[in-house]
Amino acid sequence: MLSLKQVIAQKNGIPKIKDLLAACEAYEFDSSNDDAVVHQMMHQLRNLDFSKKMKRKMVYTLMDIDYLQIVPHIIDRNQEALEKGIKNVDVSYFEGNRKEMYEDSLVNYLTENISNRKIIFFNLSLRNYCYDDEEEDRYATHGSCAFMVPRIGKGYDLYYVNHHGEAMDGTLDYERVLTRTRNQKYSFKQPVDFIVLDQIVKYMNTRLRETIYYDFTTRHNFYGINYQEEDVHGFCFIFPIIIYYSLGKYFSEAKTLNVGGVTKNLNTISQTLKEGKLNFFIHSCFTEFDESYNQVVFNYLQTEKEEKKFMAELDAVLAKLKFRFLKKLAGYMYQYLTQPAMLKKTNLPQLN
């Protein structure tokens, strides 16, 4: 199986947005259902393109969180209802090379994988995420991701990535539909996502033998550029896929950037996270996809300029490319994941 860099180097054409979305939909890239074939692909990446260490160490997980079962009870201080909502957070996962996903409670799943010191990746489906009067039930669903990394000794760090980044500052409110004409607003001092995760972590820490460490800072939450500012097509599904790939590929191996024949190695993701640089890890996930984006990251490594200036330069690249950046992300990942080796491994047909 060709690496992602090799696939991109072939410079095969990417179809128009409509056709690209249809192709991604055919392989269920945008599905949170546990029988969607894209999740088989994610699991099989361990065998096809990750190191032996990461094949053994990393697990891919689907997690479904219903905000409507959690958020209102935080403000109402209804502890019983809040705990019930958290208990209803289920996970789906693979065992070995089996192609069916198993379901379990989050507590049971974490207990087993923490005892085995696994790196746990969560592809998150956030149901009833926010009010949306264009949806039939007046709530939108959103996709994001999180991952847990064991500390040296005991304990785990939880990292959360909503690819809207710094735009999360605008998500301090949650609206609950009461009637056809009335909503109830709940307001927080932190983004709603952070509040929900914090409540889940606090509950888990009363049930697990090891502590999960999580706070509202950029050490544990991505607060970089807004990757979906130009997205009018719904490409949120592609970000957890790329981040999972990057985590598995470069957690313990250095990623090399090349500009004009000059190369520079990034620190491993493991080291980057230890230094509290979650933002930089996420920003570095997309260097393969566009030369101008890669150039900005490469220059940052040489100059170590202020993070705000670095983010402004990345923003400028995305503003210039507009939807073409998202098209590259989805198009090249589609080409990478639908190679013959992957399709054979997952018993999937090659689409025309």
Query: Quick check: 340 pLDDT over 70?
Result: yes
142 vs 63, which has greater pLDDT?
63
Looking at residue 96, what is its pLDDT? 81
Per-chain mean pLDDT for the chain: 93
d(CA 129, CA 143): 9
Q: How confident is the model at residue 16 (pLDDT cuts 50, 70, 90)?
A: very high
Q: How confident is the model over 213-229, as a mean pLDDT?
A: 96
pLDDT in tens, 241-255: 999 999 999 999 999
Q: How confident is the model over 185-209, as a mean pLDDT?
A: 96
Q: Give percent of the chain with pLDDT exceeding 70.
A: 99
Looking at residue 5, what is its pLDDT? 94
Contact, 173 vs 193, CB < 8 A? no
pLDDT in tens, 252-272: 999 999 999 999 999 999 999
Which backbone phi and psi does 36 adopt, to 5 degrees? -70, 140
Query: Quick check: 343 pLDDT over 70?
Result: yes
Distances (CA, A) of 184 to 2, 78, 141, 196, 230: 51, 16, 19, 18, 30
Q: How confident is the model at residue 302 (pLDDT cuts 50, 70, 90)?
A: confident
* pTM summary value: 0.95
Q: Give percent of the chain with pLDDT exceeding 90.
A: 79
pLDDT in tens, 78-114: 999 999 999 999 999 998 878 789 999 999 999 999 9
Per DSSP bridges, beta strands 102-105 and 90-93 are antiparallel
User: What tokens appear for 95 in the block?
Assistant: 């065992």
Looking at residue 352, what is its pLDDT? 58
Q: How confident is the model at residue 349 (pLDDT cuts 50, 70, 90)?
A: confident
